[in-house]
């Protein structure tokens, strides 16, 4: 990260980052939503927005480490009602110093100016200055002694992963989620020669991975509708439907739309269903950019009935999304185990609705970007127990890499898979067949 503290936009970027962190930590708002709200009124240049986002996302990705470090220097934290954004300023400043490699004089000066600009934090300016100077001097050595994977994963998640996957895999998951993910592209045509992406990593037909990609809209082929952004693991569930050319496919909980685009590009007649009309509008905009089409239905899938049952139904159900923490580092700190109970109930209702839409002899693919078995494996087992007219259609090595196939024939990817290539999101999917 280039040094920004001495530029005119330095203070504005840092103020935006602190505002984002306050919304995430105090109001439990998703970082992306908080950033969009802050940037809508912050009047920042694109590169200043990028700096603010880097500070906020790094602060959350390394939150456990940073919090432990700050607590070591400030055993008794100042009360929030008196200190205002003091904690957020310390977090942001520490992230700049230790992980973004901002020069100490710029990061400390930026934090001091932030404190000076706030009516509450200004009273804690000496504390902020002293702590960040200690962080600059002692922080790097302290980091070497920290258990990064454990500190940056809340107890409720780490203990669950140890139970489900074993401690070694739990640690590998936690380590993988500390890495900034690369950018994966899915091409409209699997036969595209990708001549404009010579440094990219091929992931399979029609799929490439880029590191340090920069602004998506500036990449070659974007305006021509050659590709869309989609994590490799997220592209697998739609593949499990098989040949859909000329067939009707219902894509439930369709936004942000990667699977809709996949299916439309493969020649399917897609009906994309989602509760959020604004998110469906973004799906439609991407379809238009790609010169593809699909029917958009803005409604709750539990209340909607198609004109006729479909031979193919894809349900990517809302979930805790713990398989995407590397893309959403705020997630472990704004969710709790209690959120899992609500998600399970919704998923059960949605898979029942999806089953009712599946024609006899048809295929239903259920997927979640979650590492939690209650949202994946257990949902499918419960559904099969309720619906005796459905059976598991085992996923085969010709469908996906055999390393992704479970003993029962389902799909399961973990964030540390393909580490040498940059990892992937954690996904679960099952392919189910309705009997004739």
Residues with catalytic roles = 369
Secondary structure (3-state) at 250:
strand
Identify whether the C-beta of residue 326 lies closer than 8 Å to the C-beta of residue 176: yes
End-to-end CA distance of the chain: 59
| CA-to-CA separations, 414 to 67, 128, 156, 230, 423, in angstroms, rounded | 27, 39, 18, 16, 8
Residue 98 exposure: Cα atoms within 13 Å on the Cβ side: 29
- Cα separation of 435 and 217, whole Å? 45
For the CA atoms of 335, 338, 343, 344, the dihedral, rounded to the nearest 10 degrees, stands at: 140
- Cα separation of 401 and 395, whole Å? 10
Secondary structure (3-state) at 228:
strand
- Cα separation of 89 and 102, whole Å? 15
For the CA atoms of 111, 115, 117, 118, the dihedral, rounded to the nearest 10 degrees, stands at: 140
For the CA atoms of 335, 340, 346, 351, the dihedral, rounded to the nearest 10 degrees, stands at: 120
């Amino acid at each position: 990260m280039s040094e920004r503290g001495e530029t005119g936009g330095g203070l504005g970027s840092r103020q935006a980052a602190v505002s984002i962190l306050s919304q995430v930590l105090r109001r439990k708002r998703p970082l992306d939503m908080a950033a969009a709200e802050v940037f809508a009124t912050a009047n920042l240049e694109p590169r200043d927005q990028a700096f603010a986002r880097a500070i906020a996302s790094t602060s959350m990705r390394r939150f456990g480490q940073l919090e432990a470090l700050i607590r070591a220097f400030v055993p008794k934290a100042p009360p929030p009602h008196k200190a205002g954004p003091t904690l957020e300023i310390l977090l942001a400043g520490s992230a700049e110093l230790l992980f973004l490699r901002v020069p100490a004089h710029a990061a400390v000066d930026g934090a001091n100016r932030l404190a000076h600009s706030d009516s509450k934090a200004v009273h804690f300016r000496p504390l902020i200055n002293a702590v960040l100077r200690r962080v600059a001097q002692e922080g790097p050595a302290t980091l070497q002694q920290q258990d990064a994977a454990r500190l940056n994963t809340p107890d409720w998640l780490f203990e669950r992963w140890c139970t489900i996957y074993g401690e070694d895999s739990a640690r590998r998951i936690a380590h993988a989620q500390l890495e900034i993910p690369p950018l994966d592209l899915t091409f409209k045509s699997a036969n595209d020669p990708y001549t404009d992406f010579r440094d990219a990593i091929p992931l399979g037909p029609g799929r490439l991975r880029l590191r340090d990609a920069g602004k998506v809209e500036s990449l070659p082929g974007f305006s021509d509708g050659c590709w869309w952004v989609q994590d490799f693991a997220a592209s697998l569930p739609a593949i499990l439907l098989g040949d859909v050319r000329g067939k009707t496919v219902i894509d439930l909980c369709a936004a942000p739309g990667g699977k809709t685009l996949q299916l439309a590009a493969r020649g399917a007649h897609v009906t994309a269903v989602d509760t959020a009309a604004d998110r469906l509008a973004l799906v439609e905009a991407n379809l238009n950019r790609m010169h593809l089409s699909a029917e958009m239905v803005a409604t709750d899938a539990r209340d909607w009935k198609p004109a006729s049952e479909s031979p193919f139904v894809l349900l990517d159900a809302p979930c805790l999304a713990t398989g995407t923490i590397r893309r959403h580092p705020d997630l472990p700190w704004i969710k709790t185990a209690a959120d899992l109970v609500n998600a399970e109930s919704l998923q059960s209702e949605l898979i029942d609705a999806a089953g009712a839409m599946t024609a006899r002899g048809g295929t239903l693919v259920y997927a979640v970007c979650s590492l939690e078995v209650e949202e994946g494996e257990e949902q499918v087992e419960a559904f099969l127990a309720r619906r005796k007219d459905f059976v598991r259609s085992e996923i085969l090595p010709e469908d996906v890499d055999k390393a992704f196939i479970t003993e029962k024939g389902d799909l399961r990817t973990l964030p540390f898979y393909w580490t040498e290539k940059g990892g992937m999101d954690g996904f679960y999917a099952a392919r189910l067949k309705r009997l004739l």
